[in-house]
Structure 1
């Protein structure tokens, strides 16, 4: 939409709000200032080996062994190269490396480390060609503006009372932040709960939230219609009302 001229089409805006359903009790609304969703990068890594017969391994550069070595070494990035107070996740599958972090400097550290480790392992294995790296599906950090979010959070507290909660940081990623960046305006992103409250409470009492409550994009994630729909509608109206007629 931005590439197709959304900014020129819409014109001036004051603020960019957004909401998303999350695996919390339905009826709750949560937000927080600062980083709320992680930045993420997906990377395709192409390794070049050399084929040979299984009985003559000395003539080959085995990409399977090489890939296994890389996977093991990549696990050390978060454990040994990211500070304890920072958050990052490196996930490997089919030799795809995806990264999630709440800090742009950590993001650069992780991506640089991935490339450094892969190149070093390829050199150690005497690969006939250098590895190739392609970044795709890149998502910016969702970083809630403090003043904007404080205003929205106060409006939520006034309207929802105890159902207005502080949203924990989510290791999920979104392209929503591309919009406020394109418009040059502050933004606030919040979540509404979609899990049946009794189901969530039972899982919480049993200490089984991580086991029994499905998360977004799980095949079992199915938000209950109510009070999810009503809460989401009210949250959008309440957040907008906090800005309409109030400038500065």
Structure 2
């Protein structure tokens, strides 16, 4: 099977001035990987390792210094094309929803900007997408304050799905959720992946969830790709000292909680 997403030698380099006048330089060394339809790739690493930057490069929020992103073997040079094909699930669902707009208006905006659907077709697409994430068509008339935490997270997923993407990128999507909502959201995403054949790139500090949902893992340290492989292999036979430290810290936390 041909890969859904191919990332070849993707890199980033930028110098910024800090508040104290010093130059801060962050470099993401060339990263390459492939993602199949229906597969989940997790990206592990400490704060500042480059995980979130890699996510921004994939969805087009940041521009790489070099490298190429292919979808089904075709280059994604066009920013609009990438915006539709690779979509981001926002971490803080509440803050990402405009309190002055109904859910229908929030979901309609990307359809107006990126499709040729008329008003009736847009309404039908909104209702279909709400049903897809376990909500009712009537929820399109709700405002942010009328939703539970779990419903807001489902809306965040609906916004990512509304343009029929082939790849979803989620940067710490469960960090702010309580355990019950987190579990519901994980199950929802896994069901959507099975039903729609989505490729899923998942960034999280929660190694328990990483181990549960991912097929393969990339490990980043200070912008360097230090290790990659199947999830079970990474957790059971890590090659680098850095990966071993990450996994040991997770296992120590589990033992303490028990």
Larger-Rg structure: 1
Q: Same fold (TM over 0.5)?
A: no
TM-score normalised per structure 1: 0.23
Normalising to structure 2: TM-score of the pair?
0.22
